[in-house]
Amino acid sequence: MDYPVWQLAATGGGFWIALIATVHVFVAHFAVGGGLFLVLTEARGHRENSPAILDYVKSHTKFFLLVTMVFGGLSGVGIWFTIAVLSPGGTLTLVNAFVWGWATEWTFFLGEIAALLVYHYSFGKMAAKDHMRVGWLYFVFAWLSLFTINGIIGVMLTPGAWAATNDFWDGMFNPSFWPSLVFRSFLAFMLAGLFGFVTAVRVRDAAARERVVRSCVRWAVLSLPCLALSGWWYLSVLPESTLAFILRGSAEITPYLAALPVIAVLVGVFALLMAVRLPLAVRTPVAALLLVLGFGVVGAFEYIREAGRRPFIISERMWSTGIMPAQAEPLSDPFLPRARWAKNKEITEKNRLDAGRELYAFQCLPCHSVGGPMKDIRKYTGMIGNEGVAAYITGQGRIFKQMPPFVGSPAERDALAAHITANINARPLDKPVVADIKPLPDAIPAYDPDTATHVLLSWCPLGLKCITDADGFFSFLPPGSAVGAVLIRRDVVPEVVTDGVEITYAAPEGFKHPSKHVEFWKYAPSLIGKQPKPDQSAAGKGPDGTLAYNEKSKTFEAAGIPVVPFSDDGSINPYPLFTVTAKDTATGAVLAETRTVMPVSTEMSCFRCHGGAFRKGGVMGISDVTAEGILAVHDKRSGTDLAARAAAGQPVSCQSCHPDALFDATANPKLLNLSAAMHGFHVNYLTGKGDEACAMCHPDSPTGATRCQRDNHAQKGIGCARCHGYLEDHAISVLLSEKAEGKERADILMKHIAPRSVAKASEITPRRAWIQEPDCLTCHTDFQTPDLATARAFNTWVKDRSGLYRSRKEDTGNVPCLACHGAPHATYAAKNPYGENRDNIQPMQYMGSAGPIGSGTRCDVCHTVEMEGGEVHHPNMVKE
């Protein structure tokens, strides 16, 4: 942040560092190994009294001088210039910390230059022993240069004690110093043999040529097993986290890691081939190929080593952006005011995109290109809008460590996301999805209190059923809603009817063929292991059916009803009204009839981060593009093959691996349950938000096509966080429960999450997803209306399923709470966007007004005489 940025957007700075550094390292290692090759080959020439071999050494020396001193010197200057302008902070840190090391290395390098010049120009003009001494002197200087540089380079990957002590010797002799020195020495010897082939094939004397070629074969081939052993040693001293990242954590490293041994084997194979008496027309291109393969070995090793440092340029000391971790806290203090060369010091609506451009230069350009060969930013962000880019920026450096965290304020993060979206990817900035909702008739059934003998109360216990309509790719919420009902015989003392009646449900017209709108039935054998009939759920229920009496809950129930939000006429309706009818089984007479909403939605905005768009009408559904993006990320991060299985027509249910109490799916008990995995992972990308974080995934956007928050709480401005906590709190609560079961992944996901509603995570009470939810009586103490300013139900959970709102009953009877108060997230008086009283059908039917059944002293709904005594069922029930 203290230096101007050399903006190489087309390629990214990393490309030039990688290219020039790899070329220089390739030549520099040849300069070391080639020195030993020269002096030993000369010694052989003298020993065998072979003028042809000595002529070869003299010729090779000129080639060696031109490649190592001239080209190598230029590439050395080039790499210093490149790192100085592209990574000035890192360069300055290494120069300051190891100034005497650099001075020593430059002294050795000066000795190399002098010795090589003398060696070359004195060939045949100096006594053989003296000439050999000069050659040995060159090799010693070259190897000592490697010795010194190896320590300084090694500390960047394995700082060891140096990270804390800053001691010169701790840095030089860091944990990887010796294995790296041995590895690089044998790498240098291998390259000496490969470069030797280039000039050996030009030796005119056939016998001498064969001796030199075979000598080069030994240099190349015998170095390979030593390379392999020292490479294993090198890996063994790496920190566990670094080793895990190199071996398993980075999809970008994997090809290079796989290629390295293959290229090394090819070096051995083609080097051995050179030992065969082949025509020069064949040997010459093979020699060139071996040089290319040698460059491949160097390039693959250097890429793995460099990439293994991520997100640091100097491990534990400086991120690849040139920012030191000690300088800033991610996503807190503004960055631009502290950036000396920044033009924009604060974010305004007017300068937002330009400020984003500057932030991109400071924190993205060091690694990313724009349309270039390395880490093209468009590849990673081109399929998503600025909200998704902002989420990625928020989460970078948390769960996955290959990128440093973004340093700056949320406003700066959003400016950077806007720049990437609008300026780099040429996409329009995200706008809220605004659904054009046309209210539908509420169709309130007739009811005459003077003649009615029964009252039928019905509800959907799920409040709103979401389904993942990406069945050809995956599913974790298949079609399958539920309905419950109680039938009350009206009398002086009303009675809940449990036998002698049949209660049925019927979908409205247009919703009787859900299989026309989603592909669940096509892929059901793969998703759930069986093939239900079209328009029937896995439980055997259809759009029309019968409720069964449940002795335990004392209610009539039907679960697994296949409902989708798409009508046969092409319209979208998340709130179809089902007709519920009670008949006398003996006579067939209709005792009572009502209607209830069966809420269902596919409005999950996965596309914001995973690409694509809504599948249906631009307002709902998971598109194929989005689903493919989700599977690609899952496969990349978890090592699965879900995309391949989906492409083969074998998609899977998420609950086949992840336990899920919603479906009583035990699956793999070692994995996080589905709720903990989903919330725990995504919270790392959506921190710092309010209720809008929930709307990124759940269908509760106030402008969306569902708007599922429609109860009396929502009308009073009570959002998700009041009951469930902010997303951070919600995630921690379920992760703590998983941590208590010994699941290490829970700790990884929680590491960078700070709670919002309490001071520290230990103050959050662990809970089991779907089983322990907020307790209504936390706020509604003694059933009274709470103080809206202070009421908060978060962190007080019911003990088990029996305490859930959808399962609770009044203390003295068998009527569940939701029979009188309405479904979850639609408690009376509710306001439905598809009809003001669509969720208030039964209060309007039986009382003529919206509100809990029996409220406002309307005991006559069930009682046939005027009641005295007021609050019989629970306190506050007759409140006006």
Q: Is the dihedral angle over the CA atoms 379, 384, 386, 390 positive or is it negative?
A: negative
In a shared domain, residues 363 and 468: no
In a shared domain, residues 416 and 541: no
Q: Give a yes or no: residue 644 inside a domain.
A: no
Domain boundary among 548, 575, 597: 597
What's the CATH number where 403 sits?
Answer: 1.10.760.10
Q: Which DSSP letter does residue 474 get?
A: E
Domain boundary among 597, 614, 634: 597
In a shared domain, residues 53 and 161: yes
In a shared domain, residues 579 and 545: yes
Q: Give a yes or no: residue 202 inside a domain.
A: yes
In a shared domain, residues 92 and 127: yes
Query: For residue 580, what are the contacts with CB-CB under 8 A and spacing of at least 6?
Result: 456, 458, 483, 485, 503, 504, 505, 547, 593, 594, 595, 596
Domain hosting residue 239, numbered range: 13-318
Alpha helices in 657-777 (DSSP H): 674-682, 692-695, 712-715, 720-724, 727-740, 744-750
In a shared domain, residues 313 and 337: no
Q: Give a yes or no: residue 217 inside a domain.
A: yes
Q: Give a yes or no: residue 811 inside a domain.
A: no
Q: Report helix, strand or coil for 240.
A: helix
Q: Give a yes or no: residue 227 inside a domain.
A: yes
Q: What digits encode the pLDDT tens for the residues 705-748?
A: 999 999 988 888 888 888 999 999 999 999 999 999 999 999 99
Q: Give a yes or no: residue 631 inside a domain.
A: no
Predicted confidence (pLDDT) at residue 789 exceeds the cutoff of 90 = no
In a shared domain, residues 311 and 274: yes
In a shared domain, residues 222 and 101: yes
Q: Give a yes or no: residue 822 inside a domain.
A: no
Predicted confidence (pLDDT) at residue 876 exceeds the cutoff of 90 = no
What's the CATH number where 197 sits?
Answer: 1.20.1630
Domain boundary among 597, 616, 642: 597
Q: Looking at residue 670, what is its pLDDT?
A: 94
Region of poorest pLDDT, from 213-222, 260-269, 485-494, 850-859? 850-859
In a shared domain, residues 306 and 340: no
Q: What digits encode the pLDDT tens for the residues 571-621?
A: 999 999 999 999 999 999 999 999 999 999 999 999 999 999 999 999 999
Q: Which DSSP letter does residue 568 get?
A: T
Q: Looking at residue 1, what is its pLDDT?
A: 55
Inter-residue long-range contacts of 233-239, CB under 8 Å, 24+ positions, other chains counted: 233/179, 233/182, 233/183, 234/176, 234/179, 234/180, 234/183, 236/179, 237/158, 237/175, 237/176, 237/179, 238/157, 238/158, 238/175, 238/176, 238/308, 239/158
870 falls in which pLDDT band (50, 70, 90)? low
In a shared domain, residues 333 and 308: no
Reported pTM:
0.88
In 292-419, at which residue ranges do the beta strands (DSSP E only) sit?
312-314, 318-319
Q: Indicate the number of domains in the chain.
A: 3
Query: For residue 662, what are the contacts with CB-CB under 8 A and spacing of at least 6?
Result: 674, 675, 769, 770
In a shared domain, residues 22 and 70: yes
Per-chain mean pLDDT for the chain: 92
Q: Give a yes or no: residue 737 inside a domain.
A: no
Q: How far apart are CA 857 and CA 546, in angstroms?
A: 33
879 falls in which pLDDT band (50, 70, 90)? low
Q: Is the dihedral angle over the CA atoms 501, 507, 512, 515 positive or is it negative?
A: negative
Q: What digits encode the pLDDT tens for the residues 323-373?
A: 888 776 766 789 999 888 899 999 999 999 999 999 999 999 888 889 888
